[in-house]
Copies of this chain bind each other. A is one copy, B any other.
Amino acid sequence: MPKNCNFIEKLREVGLRPTKQRVKMCEVLYNREKTFHFTINDLVKLLSEKMNQKISLATVYNTVHAFEKKGYLKEISIDSHKSYFDTNTSAHHHFFDEDTHELIDCDESDIDKVNIRKNITGKKINSVEVLVRVASDNQTQK
């Protein structure tokens, strides 16, 4: 309960009204130790099942995209069939577990700086991100 004050302020700063739906959404998104990777459906389920917050799908979409525009969330393209979002909004690298479909942030130290030798003429580099696809080691998979 007291923690929510942070979120209320946070929302205000960004120009969003701290409604109960948004505060609950903040709790789900940001009350955690580690980066949170999720789909819209993950988030709706967490809100309704774990947080007992009835909320419409449209509100979740709208608010997630509002957060994204404000730089509080980042959309990640890992699977063309689904949108993943990430509470870590910096450019960073990922492991993607192809068994569980889980996204995991790489630590800074996990991957050396990527050296780009040649760029497209007349273009500047906005971001460089690495995706490492991993899968179970002990599986018979040709």
Show the binding face of A for B, using Cβ within 8 Å. 75-84, 95, 97-98, 104, 107, 109-112, 114-120, 122-138
Contact = CB atoms under 8 A, between A and B. Distances in A.
Please tell me how many copies of the chain the complex holds.
Answer: 2
By DSSP majority rule, is chain A's interface helix, strand, loop, or mixed?
Answer: strand
Given A77-B79, A111-B116, A118-B107, A128 B130 contact: yes
Contact of A109 (B114, B118, B134): B118
Contacts of A127: 131-133
Contact of A129 (B109, B126, B130): B130
17 contacts: A80-B84, A95-B119, A95-B123, A104-B120, A109-B117, A109-B118, A111-B114, A112-B115, A116-B132, A119-B134, A122-B136, A122-B137, A123-B136, A124-B136, A125-B132, A125-B134, A127-B131
A97 B77 CA distance: 15
A106 B120 CA distance: 10
A134 B129 contact: no
B135 A124 contact: yes
Contacts of A110: 116-118
B107 A120 contact: no
